[in-house]
Structure 1
Amino acid sequence: MASLNIRNVEKHYGDLRTLKNVNIDIEDGDFLVLLGPSGCGKSTLLSAIAGLAPVTSGEIVIDGLVVNDIESADRDIAMVFQSYALYPTMTVRRNLTFGMRVRGASRQEQDEAVKRVAAVLQLGELLDRKPSQLSGGQRQRVAMGRAMVRQPKIFLFDEPLSNLDAKLRTDMRAEIKKLHQREKTTTVYVTHDQIEAMTLATKIVVMKGGEVQQIGSPQDIYEHPNNLFIARFIGSPAMNCIAGTLEAEGPAVFFRGHSKGRDGLRINLGPMTNGYRAFVGAAVVLGVRPEWLAYAPTGSALDLIDAVVDVVEPTGSDNFVLLKARGETLMARFAPGVGTPGQHVGLAIDIDKTLLFDAQTEQRIPR
């Protein structure tokens, strides 16, 4: 295992800055996921860590040693690529040991490494097959095994599951998670898939336009996104983001949606807080996850949002329900069987979890 520190890293291609003052600290045994849309700089950063793309400025530090001028082969890292990068004419066994043979490892060392990795990744029956005789998931396990035989300080994964179908992705996520739990090797994993990020990571770095937007645990980033970009990017279905203003009424603070003016959506957010007081009368955006909206029968004593069901998307375990509420469109996550198009329903909102964002800066407003 190893620590990894990325300090003030910049990467320029002429006038194009693909990485902008990136600072990340990764502790021994962390599973760090670099998450963001295509073109955000996450793969460029992974290549910089691997030594495949020298940085313009800043430092890459592994276990306290600055490795900027150290060749990729000497950084004691192992990388698993999206395309598997297996040698088609070699058996699985020879693919696993190719790097060891190049480095002059003895036959005994090779055999011991193959035995260890094959047991962990369940490759024993595949050792004499060639890549063309393997499924996509098996090829990915071989690619992982080739990285594991080195017992590196750091694993680097570059969108390794993007070529797999949905079931294989789920299976391989579990394999990668089990591998990390067993080996506890420091890992940096690149993906644009938020499900992979949420299920695998001990720490997520959200990137946009070459900049780090937020670093935190999956749950913290999900529940407390720093800005509207993260709020909208993380979560499926996406967070409801409603433009409006804050109003003070006695000791309470209310959110009023912009649609329909004074007849628009109005939500009691509870007692006024120091954070919200400065934004009374200002343009804000209310953020509500679909599961923070609960179904309640109309006419109950609760403080409800009146809504009409527009579209129902059953998924088996949940119903994703699109609703119209006083000019606003909301997505809610209901129990299976709840909600039919045209139905009038009441929505109870979990005000303790709702978020507010400054409409101008798009930054989250602290309570």
Structure 2
Amino acid sequence: MASLHIRDVRKNYGNVACLKAINIDADDGEFLVLLGPSGCGKSTLLNAIAGLEPVSDGEIVIDGTVVNDVESAKRDIAMVFQSYALYPTMTVRKNLTFGMRVRGVPKHEQEAAVERVAAILQLDQLLDRKPSQLSGGQRQRVAMGRAMVREPKIFLFDEPLSNLDAKLRTDMRAEIKKLHQRVGTTTVYVTHDQIEAMTLATRIVVMKGGEVQQIGTPEDVYDRPSNLFVARFIGSPAMNCLRGRLQGDGAAASFVGGQDRKQPLKIALGALSPGQQRYIGRDIVLGIRPEWFALAEHADAFDATVDVVEPTGADNFVLVSAAGESIMTRFAPGVGRAGESVRLSANAAKALIFDAVTEQRVP
């Protein structure tokens, strides 16, 4: 196991900046997820850590050693790719031992490593099969096992589940999490799937346009996104981001917005922090997760009309309209009927305020 430090790393392709001053610290044994939309630079950063891409500037430090000029094979990392990259003519056993055989590892050490990894990944009964005889999930476990036999300092995963169907992705997420809990190896995992990020990570690095937008625990990036990009990108359904004005005083403030000026949307926010109080009388963006709304009949509630109900089994996603604004809410099964009038209130303790110009969250 090892720590990983990314220090002011930049990567340029001609005049195009793909990575812009990336700074990340991963502790020994951490599971770090690089999350962002396609083209944000997360795979480029992973390849730079692996030594597959040289950086234009900055340092990559693994276990206290700057590895910028260390070739990939000598960085003591193991990478699992989106494609399983298994040798089709070799059995599972030979796929697992191939790298060790190339390096001249004694046969008894190879056998011990295969036995250890096969037990962890439940590959014992598959060792004499070839990849064509395996399911997608089994192939991915073999690809993981081939990385594990090396006992590397760092595991690198490049969207390893994107080729699997929904059920297999769920199963393999659990397998990867159990694997990390057992072996505790520092892991960097690239994905554009926020569910994978939220369920696997000890910390998430949210990226956009080659820049880090936020680094935090899954709870941090979900409950306290640093800006509107993170707020909208994390969460399914996405956070409601409503434009309007902050009114009232520091002890009893309200958000006032919506398209209907005669009957505007008014959401009670209660007491504000000192930083938020500076925005009274100014335009803001109010961020509220769908589950932060509740049915209510008290005076601070606002009127809404149910437009669409999307049952998912465990929840009902209920799209409502209020003062010309569409708002997504999340309730228990059976709640909401199209055309129904409801009264809603927002959880003021959870609601977030963002600067309307900079789009940064106001603490």
State the TM-score, normalizing by the size of structure 2: 0.98
Q: What's the offset of the Cα at 1:295?
A: 2.2
Q: Where does structure 1 differ by over 3 angstroms across 4 or more consecutive aligned residues?
A: none
Matched, 1:68 2:68: yes
Cα distance in 1 for partners of 2:271, 2:221 equals: 25
1:253–1:272 Cα contact (<8 Å) kept: yes
Matches within 5 A, 1:1-367: 1-248=1-248, 251-296=251-296, 300-301=297-298, 303-366=300-363
SS for the counterpart of 1:199 is helix
Cα distance in 2 for partners of 1:21, 1:250 equals: 38
SS for the counterpart of 2:317 is strand
Relative to 1, partners in 2 of residues 1:251 and 1:169: Cα closer, same or farther, differing over 3 Å?
A: closer
1:248–1:272 Cα contact (<8 Å) kept: no
Q: What's the offset of the Cα at 1:283?
A: 1.6
Structure 2 residue runs without a partner (length 5+): none
Amino acid of the structure 1 residue aligned with 2:198: M
Relative to 1, partners in 2 of residues 1:111 and 1:294: Cα closer, same or farther, differing over 3 Å?
A: same
Relative to 1, partners in 2 of residues 1:111 and 1:258: Cα closer, same or farther, differing over 3 Å?
A: same
SS for the counterpart of 2:93 is helix
State the TM-score, normalizing by the size of structure 1: 0.97
SS for the counterpart of 1:261 is coil
Q: What's the offset of the Cα at 1:249?
A: 5.0
Q: What's the offset of the Cα at 1:269?
A: 1.0
Q: What's the offset of the Cα at 1:240?
A: 0.4
Query: In percent, how many aligned pairs have the same letter?
Result: 72
CA deviation profile, 1:80-135 (whole Å, cap 9, x unmatched): 00001000111100000000000001110111111000000000111111111111
Of residues 242-251 and 11-20 in structure 1, the stretch that sits farther from structure 2 once superposed is 242-251
Cα distance in 1 for partners of 2:309, 2:249 equals: 36
CA deviation profile, 1:243-294 (whole Å, cap 9, x unmatched): 1111125842111114112521011211243212221222211000000001
Structure 1 residue runs without a partner (length 5+): none
Amino acid of the structure 2 residue aligned with 1:325: A
Q: What's the offset of the Cα at 1:340?
A: 0.5
Cα distance in 1 for partners of 2:158, 2:261 equals: 48
Amino acid of the structure 2 residue aligned with 1:307: A
2:258–2:323 Cα contact (<8 Å) kept: no
Cα distance in 1 for partners of 2:204, 2:276 equals: 28
1:302–1:348 Cα contact (<8 Å) kept: no
SS for the counterpart of 1:115 is helix
Cα distance in 2 for partners of 1:63, 1:131 equals: 34
2:246–2:284 Cα contact (<8 Å) kept: yes
1:11–1:55 Cα contact (<8 Å) kept: yes
Say how many residue pairs are matched.
363
1:159–1:190 Cα contact (<8 Å) kept: yes
Amino acid of the structure 2 residue aligned with 1:361: T
Q: Root-mean-square deviation (CA), in Å?
A: 1.0
Q: What's the offset of the Cα at 1:302?
A: 5.2
CA deviation profile, 1:146-176 (whole Å, cap 9, x unmatched): 0000000000000000000000000000000
Cα distance in 2 for partners of 1:251, 1:178 equals: 47
